[in-house]
Amino acid sequence: MTPTLQIFLIVSGALFSIGLLAALSRRHAIFILIGIEMMLAAANLNFIAFWRFGPQHQPPTGVMIAIFSIAIAAAEAAVGLAMVIAVYRHYHTTNVDQLDQLRG
């Protein structure tokens, strides 16, 4: 079985869906962050897949973007975790149901 674009897209779609589900349904902030990371991973997979199955002999743009994206995701994860810790210190909880300060 030769790998085709469809297979990659199906995998990345599944990964994205799982990530989304995690971000929406988990109540713990860190799990939500993990969900977000999964969605980002799905996006990276898409970039590389579209590059690999795109026209031949072109510069490796997809890989470059994926690497950028991973770096940003890392930074984002660091900020996110820091915020989670700050929230925890302040509210003594990481349960997002109780964090409704954004309500007007």
Partner 1 sequence: MSSWIVTNLWLIPALPFAASLVILSLSNVRRKSAAALAVIGQLLALAFSILAFLPTLQTHGFRVVQNFNWFTFGEQTLRLGFILDPLAAAMLMMIALVGLCIFVFSVGYMAEDRNFVRFFAYLSFFSGAMLGLVIANSLVLLFIFWELVGLASYLLIGFWIERPSAAAAAKKAFVTTRIGDMGFFLGMLWLYNRSGTLLFYDGGNGCLESAGLAMLGASPAVAGFIALLIFCGAAGKSGQFPLHVWLPDAMEGPTPVSALIHAATMVAAGVFLVARVYPLFSLGAINGVTPSLTVVVWIGVTTALMAALIAVAQADIKRILAYSTVSQLGLMMVSLGVGGVAAGIMHLLAHGFFKALLFLGSGSVIHGCHGEHDIRKMGGLRRPMPVTFVTYAIGMMALSGVPFFFSGGWTKEEILHATAHWPRSHATYYLMLAGVVLTALYMTRQIIYVFFGNSRSASERVHESPRVMTTPLIVLAICAIFFSVLLTPAWPWLHTYLTGESAQFELVRLIQPMFFVSLVLVGAGIGFGIWMYRNAGAPERNRPAEIDPLEYAQPALFRFLANKMWIDELYNRTVVAFSWMAAHLSDWMDRYFWDGLVRGFGAIGQLFAIFTTSVDERGINAGVDETTAGARSLGRVMSTAHSGQIQTYLGVVAIGMLALLLLYAWLA
**102: contact with partner 1 by CB under 8 A:** yes
Q: Which is nearer to partner 1, 36 or 49 (CB)?
A: 36
95: which strand partners? 28
User: Rounded to 10 degrees, what is the CA torsion of 79, 81, 10, 14?
Assistant: -150
11 binds partner 1 (CB under 8 A): no
Site residues for partner 1, 70-99, by CB under 8 A, read: 96-97, 99
Residues that bind partner 1 (CB under 8 A): 20, 23-25, 32, 96-97, 99-104
